[in-house]
Structure 1
Amino acid sequence: MNAQQLVDERGELWLALAPLWLDREPGERDYAHMVEVIEAHEMTLKELEWMFRLELAPVMTRHQMSVAGEWRRFDDRKLMQRLVSHNLRLTGWRRKSWALFSGLTTMMTRHRWNELMNRVMVARGELPY
């Protein structure tokens, strides 16, 4: 997969989910937008979980931990460049390493992710877990 394919297939979804890592709790409008974008991409909950763990969390956690990070909003262009770069290298041992450490990279946003997944399940008419 090349950079343009990643942007076309995942870009909108990645940018919609980025507020999970901001220094504020997502509001109702944020969650509604995230659910809307997720539903447009027709991914299963399992696929969403792995995207959260492997595609987003490694990049977003590094950004969150940086001293000079942006905390109120992201520069979408820079963020997309980082996400694409990470995901182009996400093969073999790198993929396995990130899977192994995904509990650490997701722990700061897990509560927000769980809230989002509950909302996705409600939107799909499923029982929240």
Structure 2
Amino acid sequence: MNAQTLVDQRGELWLTLATLWLEHEPSERDYARMIEVIERHDLTLKELEWIFRLELAPVLGRQQMSVAGEWRRFDEHKLMKQLVAHNLRLKGWRRGSWALFSGLTTMMSRHRWNELMARLMIERGETPP
């Protein structure tokens, strides 16, 4: 897969879900927008979990822990470059390593992710846990 394919397939989803790592709690509007974008991509909850854990959290978790990190909003161009670079390298042992350590990289945003998944399940007519 090349960079342009990644941007075409995941770019909108990645940038929308990046809201989960900002300093403020997502608003009702933020959650509604995330659900709208997720639904356009027609992904299962399991697929979304792996996108959260492997494609987004390693990049955004580092951003969140950085002293000079961006907290109020992201430079979308810079963030997209980081996400594409990370995901182009996400093969073999790197994929396994990120899967193994994904609990650490998702820890700061897990409560927001769980809220988003509960809202998504309700939107889909499923019963949240």
How high is the sequence identity, in percent, across the aligned residues?
77
- Tell me the residue number matched to 2:68: 68
Give the corresponding residue for 1:23: 23
Shift of 1:70: 1.1
Question: 5+ residue gaps in structure 2?
Answer: none
Q: 1:1-129 counterparts in 2 under 5 A? A: 1-129=1-129
Deviation track 1:56-103 (CA, whole Å, cap 9, x = no partner) reads: 000000011111111100000000000000000000000000000001
In the superposition, the TM-score normalised over structure 1's length comes to 0.99
What CA distance in whole angstroms lies between the structure 1 residues aligned with 2:71 and 2:108? 14
* Structure 1, unaligned runs of 5 or more: none
Q: Secondary structure at the match of 1:101?
A: helix
Deviates more, 1:86-95 or 1:64-73: 64-73
Instruction: After the TM superposition, list the runs of 4 or more consecutive aligned residues in structure 1 that deviate by more than 4 angstroms.
Output: none
Return the offset for 1:27.
0.4
- Count of aligned positions: 129
